[in-house]
Amino acid sequence: MSTSRAPVARKPVEIITVVTPCFNSAKYIEETVESVINQRAVREGRMKLNYWVIDGGSNDGTQAILQRYADQGKLNFISEKDSGMYDALIKGFQRARGELCCYINAGDYYHLTAFDVVKEVMDAHDVSWLSGWHVMYNERSQVINFYLQKRFFRSFIRKGIYGRLQPHIQQESTFWRTELLDLLDFDKLRSFRYAGDFYLWHSFASQHELCSVAAQLGGFKLHPGQLSSAMDKYTAELERICGHKLSTWDRVVSTLDKIVAKLPSRSVLAPIGYERVIRWDRDRNLWAAAAPNQ
Q: Could you give the CA distance from residue 266 to residue 288 in angstroms, rounded to a whole number?
A: 18
**What pLDDT, on a 0 to 100 scale, did the predictor assign at position 10?**
78
**What pLDDT, on a 0 to 100 scale, did the predictor assign at position 273?**
58
- Residue 145 pairs in a beta bridge with 136
Domain extent listing, the chain: 15-289
C-alpha distances in angstroms, 2 versus 42, 181, 199, 292? 30, 26, 29, 10
In the predicted model, what is the mean pLDDT of residues 15-44? 97
User: Is the per-residue pLDDT at 109 higher than 60?
Assistant: yes
User: Is the per-residue pLDDT at 54 higher than 90?
Assistant: yes
**What pLDDT, on a 0 to 100 scale, did the predictor assign at position 229?**
58
User: Is the per-residue pLDDT at 17 higher than 70?
Assistant: yes
**Is 109:218 a contact under the CB 8 Å cutoff?**
yes
**What pLDDT, on a 0 to 100 scale, did the predictor assign at position 276?**
75
Q: How does residue 266 score in pLDDT terms, banded at 50, 70 and 90?
A: low
Number of Cβ within a 10 Å radius of residue 261 = 16
In the predicted model, what is the mean pLDDT of residues 200-211? 97
Sorted by sequence, the CB contacts under 8 Å of residue 97 that are 6+ apart come out as 15, 17, 50, 178
User: Is the per-residue pLDDT at 66 higher than 90?
Assistant: yes
Query: Running DSSP on this structure, what letter comes out for residue 152?
Result: -
Q: What is the pTM of this model?
A: 0.91
Sorted by sequence, the CB contacts under 8 Å of residue 92 that are 6+ apart come out as 17, 19, 20, 21, 52, 54, 103
Average pLDDT over the chain, rounded to whole?
Answer: 90
User: Is the per-residue pLDDT at 96 higher than 70?
Assistant: yes
Fold topology of 15-289: Spore Coat Polysaccharide Biosynthesis Protein SpsA; Chain A (3.90.550)
Q: Which of 8-12, 86-90, 165-169, 219-223 has the lowest mean pLDDT?
A: 8-12
Each residue of 122-168: pLDDT tens digit? 999 999 999 999 999 999 999 999 988 878 999 999 999 998 999 99
**What pLDDT, on a 0 to 100 scale, did the predictor assign at position 1?**
41
Amino acid at 235: T
